[in-house]
């Protein structure tokens, strides 16, 4: 009979050690793959949201100052000449522009907080899809703002705000995007004089618009910037990201979300044409 024996204690310990090393490596790869997958998902979420909001703002803000007597079907229950003059000379609303709500207007957030943007245009409906009871185009006022990290818009009937008619349809507020933690605006103003080009020669904040109006300098471009954070909080960054938005100071953010800043400059074609034709 041949004598049989199993593994020695040393061989068993070596095998266990190798098994632990291999298992640890496999676990590390799986953990790394999970972290990478979550980060990629967060990046995709934020980039998709940023593209959506940029496209939405571009489409709506591109109409600022629009008032076309030739091709527009305008509700004519008010003085259209006076309405056109008001809308074209005040494309960006500032506090005090409206008799029925003198606090409504674009504003510069204090100490890096969010800005507010309020605009005038001619359209069939406001940013919420509300037509305020009209069957044709009318003076629309859109208010864009951030509340509790949610980017929102409220639409108004400009004729009600100007005190020309009684309110019959209640203004509506809708959410445009969640997880927006910073919204900043700058306003490109034109030169004045006989040779005004309609091009922005400087960019200012909302609190400077009123003074420039008095110098016959019009807002002909907008520059906006915003920061979006990922919806999930399972992302773990190595260090706190630091992001600056337009003219504001740097934001130091947490490590449990992915963040990305977006910015765009938009030339207001209607206002450029208005400034040029006014010379």
pLDDT above 80: residue 239: no
Mean pLDDT of 76-98: 95
Convert the pLDDT of each residue in 26-74 to its tens digit. Answer: 666 655 555 566 667 888 889 999 999 999 999 999 999 999 888 889 9
Contact 140, 101 (CB under 8 A): no
Convert the pLDDT of each residue in 179-205 to its tens digit. Answer: 999 999 999 998 876 556 778 899 999
Contact 258, 230 (CB under 8 A): yes
pLDDT above 70: residue 227: yes
Predicted model pTM: 0.85
- With bands split at pLDDT 50, 70 and 90, how would you rate the model's confidence at 11? low
Please give the pLDDT value at position 171: 96
pLDDT above 90: residue 15: no
Average pLDDT, the chain: 87
């Amino acid at each position: 009979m041949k004598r049989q024996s199993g593994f020695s204690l040393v061989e068993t310990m070596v095998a266990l050690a190798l098994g632990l090393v291999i298992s640890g490596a496999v676990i590390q790869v799986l953990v790394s793959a999970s972290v990478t997958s979550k980060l990629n998902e967060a990046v995709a979420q934020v980039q998709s949201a940023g593209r959506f909001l940029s496209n939405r703002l571009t489409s709506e803000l591109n109409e600022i100052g629009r008032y076309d007597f030739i091709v527009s079907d305008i509700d004519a229950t008010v003085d259209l000449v006076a309405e056109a003059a008001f809308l074209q000379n005040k494309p960006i609303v500032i506090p005090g522009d409206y008799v029925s709500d003198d606090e409504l207007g674009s504003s510069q957030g204090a100490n890096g907080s969010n800005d507010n943007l309020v605009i005038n245009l001619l359209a069939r409906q406001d940013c919420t899809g509300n037509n305020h009871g009209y069957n044709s185009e009318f003076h629309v006022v859109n208010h864009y703002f951030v509340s509790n990290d949610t980017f929102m818009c409220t639409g108004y009937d400009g004729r009600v705000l100007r005190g020309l008619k009684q309110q019959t349809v209640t203004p509506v507020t809708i959410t445009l995007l969640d997880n927006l933690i910073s919204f900043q605006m700058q306003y490109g103003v034109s030169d004045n004089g006989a040779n005004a080009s309609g091009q922005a020669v400087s960019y200012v904040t909302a609190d400077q618009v009123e003074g420039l109006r008095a110098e016959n300098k019009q807002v002909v471009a907008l520059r906006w910037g915003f920061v979006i954070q990922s919806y999930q909080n399972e992302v773990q960054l190595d260090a706190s990201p630091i992001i600056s938005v337009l003219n504001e100071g740097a934001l130091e953010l947490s490590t449990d979300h992915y963040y990305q800043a977006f910015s765009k400059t938009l030339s207001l074609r209607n206002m450029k044409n208005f400034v040029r034709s006014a010379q």
